[in-house]
Amino acid sequence: MKTQTTSIDYIRKDFPILNRCVYDDKQLIYLDNASTTQKPIQVINAINNFYRNYNSNIHRSVYSIANEATAAYENTRSKIAKFLNIRNAKEIIFVRGTTEAINLVAYSWGRNNIAKDDVIVTTEYEHHSNIVPWQLLVKEKQAKLKYIEINENGELRLDQLDDYLEYGNVKLVTFSQMSNVLGTITDSTKIISKCKKYNVKTLIDGAQSAPHMKVNIDDIGCDFFACSAHKMLGPTGVGILWAPKNVMEHMVPFHGGGDMIKEVHKYETTWNDLPYKFEAGTPNIADVIGFSTAIDYINDIGIDTIRNHEEDLRNYALSKLDNIKNIVIYGNKDSAKSGGIISFNFADIHPHDLATILDEDGIAIRSGHHCAQVLMEKLDVPATSRISFYIYNTKNEIDKLVISLEKAARLFKL
């Protein structure tokens, strides 16, 4: 335990923001990691270094700094391939984030593969990013959207998936590997093996899983995988879409423009090789390069160490929250089945009010619908409070959270 504390102290030193105070003297306690994580100095410096030393556009120029930039940019692809166990780095497309990745699939794959009366299956605990693009698509195509519901433990009722598959017409099953509200870890292997029997494509929203647990795409065998750098120590504005080459080859271009073409003539055009066909225009070069450093940082710590640390913190927090009257927790109490996320409500205090009160003590938690209104409807609450951990969080921070919750109880005369 001692060693663990020491090494966390050591890690915390890499995150400049953790030293900052809000309201003059309250040291920041950042518990909104499911929304976006903080960045280690190494990542900040990588971006800095790019702009100071080799900023230039990529792919298209022959001079030295352009070569350096191109090499660094392409190197991120290889890093990610290794990190997620993807065989071919050229199957990785850089996008702005998970949202753009899923929309890219909806446009470039969906518009050619979803027809009238086809069915897309999603789940009740999806983020809006994995619902709205499909709503738009099924509306355009007169297709159908179906939801896998959750049970009282916040787990998916996979029997419903069986029904949908058996009924037929299912073309895509799309789900998050970890719920951003409940923390539930989805049994991806089970879902995908079911889908494979019916030859149904699968998309994994890895926004929450990739940062917090080992993801092995080659093992999982899905058809699409999306995640965001900013949720895994990396900069804002970058994410990836992965799809195997044979799937990608049958996708039509998304954005048209520079770099995604092979030859442009006045009236016809040929497309560039993969993955460039899907990377039109100047990409977010600096931040793609910063992403690479973020992955190095995670690798240095070890993704399993991160997972264990979060499980530990979640168990600790649950035991503390258990002692406070009137706290209702949503999702699975078993931290082995859940990421480092806890959603809860505290008596009749609205989550927004609670977040504002905690903020006074420097504690940043998320309140609201967490871009998961379908889930809120299911839970029959307008909003929840959510705390979510990362490698730099400590038990001491949870203790301070508890003190602050007690203050809120006094203010609201609970």
Partner 1 sequence: MSNSDIYHEMIIDYSRNPINFGTIVKPDIFMHDSNPLCGDSIDLYMNVDDDVHSISEIKFNGKGCAICIACTSVLTEITKGKKIDDVIKINKTDILSELGLQKLNPVRIKCALLSLKILKFSIYSYLSDKIKKIDDTRKTELFKLKDDATNLY
Provide the annotated active-site residues. Answer: 371
For 154, 230, 308, 345, the CA distances from 342, given in Å and listed in that order, are 12, 20, 16, 10
Instruction: Categorise residue 151: left if φ over 0, alpha if ψ from -120 to 50, beta otherwise.
Output: beta
Q: Which lies closer to partner 1 via its Cβ, residue 251 or residue 383? A: 383
C-alpha to C-alpha distance for 217 and 103, rounded to whole angstroms: 20
Question: What secondary structure letter does DSSP report for 324?
Answer: S
Write the interaction track for ligand PLP spanning residues 210-239; mark x where CB under 6 A is met and - where it is not. Answer: ------------------x----------x
Contact 204, 226 (CB under 8 A): yes
Q: Which lies closer to ligand PLP via its Cβ, residue 229 or residue 405? A: 229
Among 176, 292, 332, 343, binds ligand PLP (CB under 6 A): 176
Q: Is 264 helix (H, G, I), strand (E, B) or coil?
A: strand
Instruction: State how far Cα 366 lies from the chain centre.
Output: 16
Residue 365: name its binding partner from a copy of itself, partner 1, ligand PLP, none (Cβ under 5 to 8 Å by kind). Answer: a copy of itself
Q: Which residue blocks in 168-238 are alpha helix, DSSP H? A: 188-197, 209-212, 217-220
Residue 176: name its binding partner from ligand PLP, a copy of itself, partner 1, none (Cβ under 5 to 8 Å by kind). Answer: ligand PLP
* Cα Rg, the chain, nearest whole Å: 22
Site for a copy of itself in 321-340 (CB under 8 A): none
Among 221, 253, 258, 382, binds ligand PLP (CB under 6 A): 258
Contact 93, 109 (CB under 8 A): no
Residue 302: name its binding partner from ligand PLP, a copy of itself, partner 1, none (Cβ under 5 to 8 Å by kind). Answer: none
Q: Which lies closer to a copy of itself via its Cβ, residue 106 or residue 251? A: 106
Minimum Å gap between C-beta 310 and partner 1 is: 26
For 13, 128, 212, the CA distances from 331, given in Å and listed in that order, are 33, 19, 18
Residue 147: name its binding partner from partner 1, ligand PLP, a copy of itself, none (Cβ under 5 to 8 Å by kind). Answer: a copy of itself
Residue 347: name its binding partner from partner 1, a copy of itself, ligand PLP, none (Cβ under 5 to 8 Å by kind). Answer: none
Contact 120, 174 (CB under 8 A): yes
Site for ligand PLP in 89-118 (CB under 6 A): 97-99
For ligand PLP, the binding residues (CB under 6 A) are 34, 97-99, 127, 129-130, 176, 180, 205, 207-208, 228, 239, 258, 281-282, 371
